[in-house]
Amino acid sequence: MPKTLDLPGIGERLRQAREAAGLSQAQAAKLMNLHRPTVTEIENETRKVSAGELKQFGEIYHVSVEWLMGETSSVNDKVKLAARKLHGLKERDLETVMRIIDSFRRERGAR
Amino acid sequence: MREALDSKMTGQPHPTLGQAAKTALEYRVRNGVALDGPCDVYELIVRQGVELRFMEVKSLEGFYLSDGTAGQINVCAFRPAGLQRFTAAHELGHHVFKHGSTFDPQLDYAERFSSVTAEERVAELFARYLLMPRRAVHKGLVNIGANVKNPQPSDIYRVAAWLGVGYTTLIHQMRWSLELLNQTQLEFLLGAKPQAIKQTLAPSIAKFGRSELWPAHASWNGSHIHVEIGDVITGISGGNEGIVTAVDRACHQASSIGRCVFPLVGGGHVQVSVCRKEFVGFYEYRYLPEPEDA
């Protein structure tokens, strides 16, 4: 893995993961020992993120580096299929559930 | 959902409902939770190494994810405090009984126990007895000087708050599982509205809205109250100390995120943890204040 990463969409995935973890940018910055504007810049993709920072973000947000990098997985397809069949689950909620499922098992594999 | 996904692979027969209740009581004892007190289910879950998250999914009560070794419990962020804790206990039941990944949609009380699978009934019974065992309910009523055989709505509300469950949930447990109430008492108690009870117990609060009332009492010594900003706590002493603001001599209102231990009126201490309203995220960050230099 290169020392700094330039991956389209990684800023948005970092933002989604941070919000799903329940952290503000300031809280995440403090946990990462970064300045808050640095987190903003990384999420806006105006600053590249290092491989070490990405690993640390993954640990704090409880998601795998692979998920942050946008890699897809079929590991939890059975669970995702069951979620799709749920009666009454709204489209936006289904998207959130899928994101939680996607980031679940793989984070453990990364630890 | 009405079906768990992986348990069929275990080949294990479903436990009976009696076994589910017994397992819940044994689980309490094994984890150092007294049978005659409240169970802090959130702390219990994280102590098991299971992740706990409050999710931004309004159309599910909760769901449990498992890969066979690790587990993650997800609870809807937009429900009343008692229902959230009951859902967490229910999902813990799926974890304890190794039901595998399971989704739980919104169900009313009758649906929760009738038109569901055996695994759902087992998880439901586990949650009820984990949070509301007979000895805890009985002691809760005795602690506040209530007539155990004829409790009033405010008595039930106070015991439900001590146990961390909803008013209606406790009434149903007392009627159908513990058989401490008859049908007439059930109908009388269900006729009382929690909003009106809150107003009676804390008359100085003009309007509660969706905010909860936590009527702490000396018997809450050692308890942990999980509150949201705007919730009202009675029975604690101390002034405007960081996370709460005194409304008057009797009432404090949760005003900022964090954790603090407060003396109880009449002796003892209680831990208060305050999160923002409808917190979305992992439990470990629920009470994390904003950095001062943010």
What ipTM did this prediction achieve?
0.88
CB A96 to CB B67 under 8 A? no
B53 part of contact set with chain A, CB < 8 Å: yes
Q: What's the pLDDT at A36?
A: 96
* Chain A residues with CB-CB distance to B101 below 8 A: 79, 82
| B143 contact partners, CB below 8 Å, separation of at least 6 | B162, B217, B219
Taking the C-alpha atoms of residue A59 and residue A55, their distance in angstroms, rounded to an integer, is 6
Structural domain contains residue B20: yes
- Note whether B276 and B257 are within 8 A (CB): yes
d(CA A51, nearest CA chain B) in Å: 24
Which tokens go with B251? 């009432």
Q: What percent of chain B has pLDDT over 90?
A: 79
Structural domain contains residue B101: yes
Which tokens go with B148? 């155990």
* Chain B residues with CB-CB distance to A23 below 8 A: 281, 285, 288
Structural domain contains residue B290: no
Q: Are residues B147 and B233 in the same domain?
A: no
Beta bridge partners of B258: B274
| B75 contact partners, CB below 8 Å, separation of at least 6 | B52, B53, B54, B55, B61, B62, B84, B87, B88, B91
* Chain B residues with CB-CB distance to A37 below 8 A: none
Taking the C-alpha atoms of residue A9 and residue B14, their distance in angstroms, rounded to an integer, is 45
CB A21 to CB B285 under 8 A? yes
CB A93 to CB B57 under 8 A? yes
pLDDT of B92-114, one tens digit each? 999 999 999 999 887 666 666 56
Task: Give the β-pairing of B232-234 and B213-215.
Answer: parallel
Q: What percent of chain B has pLDDT over 70?
A: 91
By Cβ distance, the residue of B60, B282, B286 closest to A62 is: B282
pLDDT of B14-65, one tens digit each? 778 789 999 999 999 999 999 999 999 999 999 999 999 999 999 999 999 9
Structural domain contains residue B78: yes
Beta bridge partners of B75: B54, B62
- Note whether A68 and A23 are within 8 A (CB): no
B9 part of contact set with chain A, CB < 8 Å: no
By Cβ distance, the residue of B1, B55, B59 closest to A100 is: B55
Taking the C-alpha atoms of residue B94 and residue B71, their distance in angstroms, rounded to an integer, is 10
Q: Is the per-residue pLDDT at B121 higher than 70?
A: yes
Q: Are residues B235 and B248 in the same domain?
A: yes
Q: What's the pLDDT at B10?
A: 45
Q: Is the per-residue pLDDT at B130 higher than 70?
A: yes
Q: Are residues B55 and B170 in the same domain?
A: no
pLDDT of B190-240, one tens digit each? 999 999 999 999 998 888 888 999 999 999 999 999 999 999 999 999 765
Determine the 3-state secondary structure of B63 from DSSP.
strand
Beta bridge partners of A5: A49
A·B CB contacts under 8 A: 87
- Single out the residue in B79, B107, B131 at which a domain terminates: B131
Q: Which residue has the tokens 């509660």?
A: B208
Taking the C-alpha atoms of residue B118 and residue A70, their distance in angstroms, rounded to an integer, is 38
Q: What's the pLDDT at B6?
A: 40
- Single out the residue in B166, B192, B218 at which a domain terminates: B192
Task: Parse chain A into domains and list their residue ranges.
Answer: 10-109
- Note whether B203 and B251 are within 8 A (CB): no
Q: What DSSP letter does each residue of B68-101 carry, written as one string?
A: SS-EEEEEETTS-HHHHHHHHHHHHHHHHTT--S
Chain A residues within 8 Å of chain B (Cβ atoms): 19-24, 26-27, 29-30, 36, 62, 78-79, 82-83, 85-90, 93, 96-97, 100-101, 104-105, 108
Least confident piece of the model among A19-28, B4-13, B115-124, B239-248: B4-13
- Note whether B156 and B214 are within 8 A (CB): no
- B154-174: average pLDDT: 98
d(CA B248, nearest CA chain A) in Å: 32
CA A60 to chain centre: 10
Structural domain contains residue B141: yes
The Cα-based distances of B103 to A72, B41, B99 in angstroms read 23, 19, 11
Q: Are residues B49 and B160 in the same domain?
A: no
* Total count of domains within chain B: 3
Question: Range of B243's domain?
Answer: 202-283
**Euclidean distance between the first and final Cα of chain B, in Å?**
41
CATH number 1.10.260.40 is the correct assignment for the domain at A10-109 = yes
d(CA B270, nearest CA chain A) in Å: 25
- Single out the residue in B87, B114, B131 at which a domain terminates: B131
Q: How many Cβ atoms from other residues are within 10 Å of residue B274's Cβ?
A: 25
Where does chain B show beta strands of DSSP type E?
Answer: 51-55, 60-66, 71-76, 102-105, 213-215, 224-228, 232-234, 244-246, 251-254, 258-263, 269-275, 281-282
Q: What's the pLDDT at B106?
A: 73
By Cβ distance, the residue of B58, B69, B285 closest to A23 is: B285
pTM of this prediction? 0.91
- Biggest alpha carbon distance in chain A? 45
- Note whether B31 and B260 are within 8 A (CB): no
The Cα-based distances of A63 to A70, A105, B9, B59, B214 in angstroms read 11, 9, 27, 23, 35
Scanning B73-102 for CB atoms below 8 A from A yields 74, 101
Q: Are residues B8 and B124 in the same domain?
A: yes
- Locate the chain A residue with the closest alpha carbon to B278: A22
Q: Tell me which of B216 and A77 has the higher pLDDT.
A: B216
Q: Provide, for chain B, the percentages of residues in helix, strand and coil under a 3-state DSSP scheme, each rounded to the nearest 5.
A: 40, 20, 40
pLDDT of A42-54, one tens digit each? 999 999 999 999 9
Which tokens go with B178? 């513990």
